Structure 1
Amino acid sequence: MCHLCPQLKDRINELEEDVRQLREAAGITLPEFGLTDSEWQIIGPLFKRHRAGQEPAISHDQIHTLYKPRQADADDTDPHTIKVLVSRARKKLKPYGWEIQPIYGKGYTLVKTPGFEDNARNKNAA
């Protein structure tokens, strides 16, 4: 790890808190999927990559780096915790036509279920 990494992590945490406070003050909310903050820490970057048209896969190492447990002293996150959060988010996103798919040896990717939007529109039109 480089000598600047701890300082950069602290600065990132400060900026993320600033963004959270600004969103709260402005009334900006995340999409209504019912995800917890912990689930969004992991799934949010998948959505960002999907919207930007980038390679949507995020590695297990990247997820481990992105996830910040609520306990300030919890530097090391149990891989099982991340798997549980992904599993819970997967269940919450499925009704909206989103799937979190594992990519063996790489991590996870987010895909929109084919034809889901058409099915949703047909139900609303009926």
Structure 2
Amino acid sequence: MSSARPPGLPIVDAMTPAVLVLAGPVTREEVAGLCDEARARLEAAGAGVLVCDVGGLGPPGLSAVELLARLQLTARRVGGRIRLRDAGPALHALLDLVGLSFEVEGEVEQREPALSVEEAVEPGDPAV
């Protein structure tokens, strides 16, 4: 039993990004298909963010870097961006090494450390 799709535009929650789960070692032949899937999810969701769950990719290597770079390029071509989920420290280090930067879920924005504040005490100020 199947039901027909309701008429009109699909309901899309703009606050919920599209998610693409990447599992197992990805071969070069699979990269093009994953890029097509990423493009389709970004266009269908209407959101500008595609979350790539990279927790199941296995040990990071250059094939993972190539895949993420191509996914990022695909997302940018349709006006979106990539956000990584479950990226381990080894993958972070490898991406830093090759000069690729990605937004990462759950990671606080890096900012300059707060400067220390020195307070002068005036004569006659009550002790705290």
- Normalising by structure 1, report the TM-score: 0.29
* Larger helix proportion of the pair: 1
Larger Rg: 2
- Normalising by structure 2, report the TM-score: 0.29
